[in-house]
Amino acid sequence: MSKHEATGSGGGAAPTPRPRRKRVVLADARAPVTVLRTAIELEEQTSWAEEVVRGFIRTQFRTAAALAALVLLIFGALPLLFFLLPDMARVTLAGVALPWVLLGILPFPLLFGIGYWYNVLAERHERDFVDMVEK
């Protein structure tokens, strides 16, 4: 096979079809006007858009603060529990004192779980925000 035949530029090869022309449209006329208006207001940072974004940030902050308070409550209560119930501090699991197990092992899966929970809630808030903006 010659070089011309391999590339398709030989005399006997069928010409390759030209790609179809595509129409480029700057704005979709079928798009709802409110979505476009909301996007423009967010881009221009109007007072309404600033309030919407502020509300979204407040929601995310409240979620983070509530879960941080939960972590502080749980880990702050453990030393208090062992102080108030000294017999519980003497309990052992597999030869390891219960306070060491609760304060040395429990934090890792608990923090992972709360971090995962926060991520789920944050993504839900983001979806709600996008849904509200697109209405």
At 2, list the tokens. Answer: 């010659």
CA 109 to chain centre: 20
Is the pLDDT at 126 greater than 70? The verdict is: yes
**What per-residue confidence (pLDDT) applies to 65?**
97
Question: Tens digit of pLDDT for each residue in 76-99?
Answer: 888 888 888 888 878 888 888 888
Q: How many angstroms separate the CA atoms of 132 and 38, rounded?
A: 10
Residue 39: helix, strand or coil by DSSP? helix
Q: How many angstroms separate the CA atoms of 29 and 31, rounded?
A: 6
Q: How many angstroms separate the CA atoms of 94 and 97, rounded?
A: 8
Q: What is the mean pLDDT of the chain?
A: 79
**What per-residue confidence (pLDDT) applies to 38?**
63
Is the pLDDT at 9 greater than 90? The verdict is: no
Q: pTM for the complete prediction?
A: 0.60
